[in-house]
């Protein structure tokens, strides 16, 4: 089961060209949805306005080399390691979901385009990575959904209460879970496959209404924050205290959630 390419098995019922077209349509939906989201919410305009304001008020000039260094730091810490999260549980759940989903999506695309039929044998590592990515996304996603999600942890709502903010996470775990169940059940073209496609279409087609686009604007916001610290504006925040020893109170490690 873990070494079989489910899309090659599906090719007995659905032509590979249809599967490949579907994947391309999903990519187009994500790109178009993200652009619409940026224009509709004005997030790019807000980002550049903030950028100009911060630059004009900055005490220090940030040159090109420093900007590059800040961009690399943003990429390594805020994007690749989810450094924004202060809560370790949220960070681990986010990393599991993010890397699991990326592995799952990339291996899906490679198998659909590279090994679409049994005539081109799939290397065993690809389906194994597909399963691993899917399971990682499920563990991170369900952990977040039932235990970490702020609506449950702080607001005290039922984990089964569904609002629009849940569209992304529900369609993501729904798509991945149904995909894994569909593959485990033999990768046929029946009801399970229909549900899997429905959840996947909702996930990629609902970008303008869900928080799917956060993977594009959150790094921009993190970069802008780093630049504001480098140029001295710090969003008007005071600088770090430099003489805490004068106060004589005991220190302790931060106790964030």
Partner 1 sequence: MPTFVYMTRCDGCGHCVDICPSDIMHIDRTYRRAYNIEPNMCWECYSCVKACPQNAIDCRGYADFAPLGHSVRVLREEAKATISWKLKFRDGREKNFVSPIRTTPWGSIKGPGEYAAPSPADFAKQELAHEPDALNIEGGLPALRPDQLKQGVV
Residues that bind partner 1 (CB under 8 A): 43, 46, 84-87, 90, 149-151, 153-155, 163-166, 211, 217, 221, 225, 235-241, 243-244, 247-257
> Using an 8 Å Cβ cutoff, are 202 and 166 in contact?
no
Cβ 153 to partner 1, closest distance in Å? 6
> Using an 8 Å Cβ cutoff, are 5 and 127 in contact?
yes
Q: Which is nearer to partner 1, 63 or 252 (CB)?
A: 252
Cβ 52 to partner 1, closest distance in Å? 16
Give, in order, the Cα–Cα distances in Å from 189 to each of 9, 97, 102, 194.
10, 27, 25, 7
Q: Residue 44 and residue 21: Cα distance in Å, rounded?
A: 30
Q: Which is nearer to partner 1, 65 or 254 (CB)?
A: 254
Q: Which is nearer to partner 1, 1 or 161 (CB)?
A: 161
> Using an 8 Å Cβ cutoff, are 138 and 166 in contact?
no
Q: Residue 74 and residue 223: Cα distance in Å, rounded?
A: 6
Q: Which is nearer to partner 1, 149 or 179 (CB)?
A: 149
Cβ 216 to partner 1, closest distance in Å? 12
Cβ 235 to partner 1, closest distance in Å? 7
Cβ 44 to partner 1, closest distance in Å? 12
Q: Residue 110 and residue 118: Cα distance in Å, rounded?
A: 14
Q: Which is nearer to partner 1, 160 or 247 (CB)?
A: 247
């Amino acid at each position: 089961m873990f070494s079989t390419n489910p899309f090659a098995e599906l090719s007995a019922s659905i032509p590979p060209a249809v599967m490949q077209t579907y994947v391309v349509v999903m990519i187009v939906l994500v790109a178009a949805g993200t652009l619409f989201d940026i224009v509709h919410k004005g997030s790019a305009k807000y980002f550049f306005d903030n950028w100009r304001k911060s630059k004009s008020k900055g005490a220090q000039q940030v040159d090109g080399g420093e900007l590059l260094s800040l961009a690399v730091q943003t990429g390594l810490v805020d994007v690749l390691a989810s450094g924004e999260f202060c809560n370790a549980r949220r960070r681990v759940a986010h990393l599991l979901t993010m890397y699991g989903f990326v592995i799952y999506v990339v291996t899906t695309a490679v198998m659909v385009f590279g090994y679409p039929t049994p005539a081109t044998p799939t290397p065993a590592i690809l389906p194994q990575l597909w399963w691993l990515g899917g399971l990682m996304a499920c563990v991170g996603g369900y952990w977040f959904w039932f235990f970490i999600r702020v609506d449950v942890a702080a607001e005290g709502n039922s984990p089964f209460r569904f609002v629009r903010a849940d569209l992304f996470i529900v369609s993501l775990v729904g798509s991945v879970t149904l995909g894994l169940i569909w593959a485990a059940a033999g990768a046929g073209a029946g009801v399970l496959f229909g549900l899997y496609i429905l959840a996947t279409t909702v996930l990629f087609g609902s970008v303008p209404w869900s928080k799917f686009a956060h993977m594009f604007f959150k790094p921009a916001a993190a970069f802008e924050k780093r630049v504001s610290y480098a140029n001295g504006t710090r969003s008007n925040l005071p600088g770090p205290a430099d003489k805490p020893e004068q106060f004589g109170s005991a220190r302790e490690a931060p106790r964030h959630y």
